Amino acid sequence: MSGRTPDSVGEKESGPWHATLLTLMPEMFPGTLGHSLAGRALEKGIWSLDTVQIRDFATDRHRTVDDTPFGGGAGMVMRPDVLDRALASVEDRQGPVLYMSPRGRVLDQGFAKELADGPGVTILCGRYEGVDQRVLDARSVVEVSIGDYILSGGELAATVLMDTVVRLLPGVMGNQESASEESFETGLLEYPIYTRPAEWEGRDVPEVLQSGHHARIREWRQARAEELTRQRRPDLWQAWLDQQKITKQGH
């Protein structure tokens, strides 16, 4: 038994990080995840992915997976019995079972790290108006949102989640430093970056970045990161100030 609870992400086991996608559109995967960084990691066997066609678990002649909502209302709802059979068919279930939904816990970098530290995920991708609540309750499914907007289905949201997690797996990103200075890693948005040419359309790259003076460059970057965060994301800025206060009190 895995002892899985709604909030746990499971213990790390041997083998690659594994994602199982339950979907009505398995042909959507790996999609963009078969390219670039995630695609190379997939080829290298750092992570693996398989899909389950939910429709294969319908039992009637028409292979029905949905029905009208009790109480009335628009759209169709995915049936709990069909979804549960699809879920039960996943023998090597790794980590938590997630359901991509705008009602869920919002995905952020911290949650992505938790998932990357675990053995993998099983993700239920809904279509239509949603899925019957009982299967979510009965199987301790964790609802996850990728933001406050509505997509037409969970597949794209699942792709976003996997992309975010996979790039954090050991061996996926060549230069580990490039992860540690990114937006959200430090608690601040990332400072602006520049490359050649040093002058473009009358716009110069800030002098300090061309000075070779590492301490001054570090200071400049820190100041710009703070300024950007204060201007654009008051929520992150407040959290960062609070964190600074705690760190200072601790010393």
Footprint of ligand ADE (CB under 6 A): 100-102, 145-147, 149-151, 154, 157
Residue 233 phi/psi, 5° resolution? -135, 75
Q: State how far the Cα of 88 lies from the Cα of 138, in Å rounded to an integer.
A: 12
Q: How far is the CB of 101 from ligand ADE (least distance, A)?
A: 5
> Smaller CB distance to ligand ADE: residue 144 or 166?
144
Q: State how far the Cα of 185 lies from the Cα of 142, in Å rounded to an integer.
A: 24
> Smaller CB distance to ligand ADE: residue 74 or 246?
74
DSSP at 200: E
Q: Which residues contact 165 (CB under 8 A, 6 or more apart)?
A: 17, 112, 115, 116, 121
> Smaller CB distance to ligand ADE: residue 38 or 146?
146
Q: How far is the CB of 160 from ligand ADE (least distance, A)?
A: 8
> Smaller CB distance to ligand ADE: residue 75 or 147?
147
Angle made by CA atoms 112, 115, 117, in degrees to the nearest 5: 110
Angle made by CA atoms 144, 149, 150, in degrees to the nearest 5: 80
Q: How far is the CB of 21 from ligand ADE (least distance, A)?
A: 13
For β-strands 203-204 and 97-106, DSSP reports them as unpaired
> Smaller CB distance to ligand ADE: residue 147 or 206?
147
> Smaller CB distance to ligand ADE: residue 46 or 128?
128
Q: How far is the CB of 87 from ligand ADE (least distance, A)?
A: 18
| 3-state secondary structure (DSSP) of residue 193 | coil
Q: How far is the CB of 126 from ligand ADE (least distance, A)?
A: 7
Quick one: CA dihedral 129, 151, 18, 109, positive or negative? negative
Q: How far is the CB of 106 from ligand ADE (least distance, A)?
A: 8
Q: How far is the CB of 5 from ligand ADE (least distance, A)?
A: 21
Q: What type of residue is 198?
A: A
> Smaller CB distance to ligand ADE: residue 51 or 229?
51
CA distances 122 to 22, 80, 191, 236, Å, are 8, 16, 35, 30
Contact call for residues 18 and 49 (beta carbons, < 8 A): yes
